[in-house]
Amino acid sequence: MRNIKELKPDKNSRYQQGYIKVSACKKLFPSLYHQPIIFRSSYEKKFIQWLESNPNVHYWGSECIKIPYSYIDNQIHNYYPDYYVEMTDGSKIVVEIKPKNQTIKPNEDNNWAYRTWIKNTCKWKAAKKFCEERNMQFQILTENTISRLK
């Protein structure tokens, strides 16, 4: 399996994808200046804009935390949540951004959607445990929550 940072934006994707210039980011963790900042949807792009404009955000990083998880194949895989955020009040948040329809259990007849949902729930369960052990929060944001960000 390739590292998430090796998965470049896809011009043929049905989602808006691209790069954010590191020089445009004033709140990015300094240790991440050498890594590309990739947004994989318009929701992620909007979230990055919110991170940069929110006075309560101290630092943030994109796909910078690795969380091991197991899936139905009983092997250990690595999950890289979309964002890690440190707020000015000291709180720490791990954020995953997903379309709302991918956060709801699909009909088992749709094999791809069902397997994807199972895989995501395994990732999210591991992320919740990882965060609880480190006094951090885990949040899944959808288009509904992203559209309300100010």
Q: Is 123 a catalytic residue?
A: no
One of 45, 98, 119, 128 is an active-site residue; which one?
Answer: 98
Point out the catalytic residue in the list 44, 63, 96, 123: 44
**Which pair of tokens denotes residue 75?**
């092997």
* Joined tokens for residue 8: 């470049």
| Backbone dihedral region for residue 74 (phi beyond 0: left; psi -120 to 50: alpha; all else: beta) | left
Assess whether 52 carries a catalytic annotation.
Answer: no
Concatenate the DSSP letters of all residues of 56-89 into one string.
TEEEEEES---EEEE-TT--EEEE--SEEEEETT
Catalytic residue list contains 82: yes
| Active-site residue list | 44, 82, 98
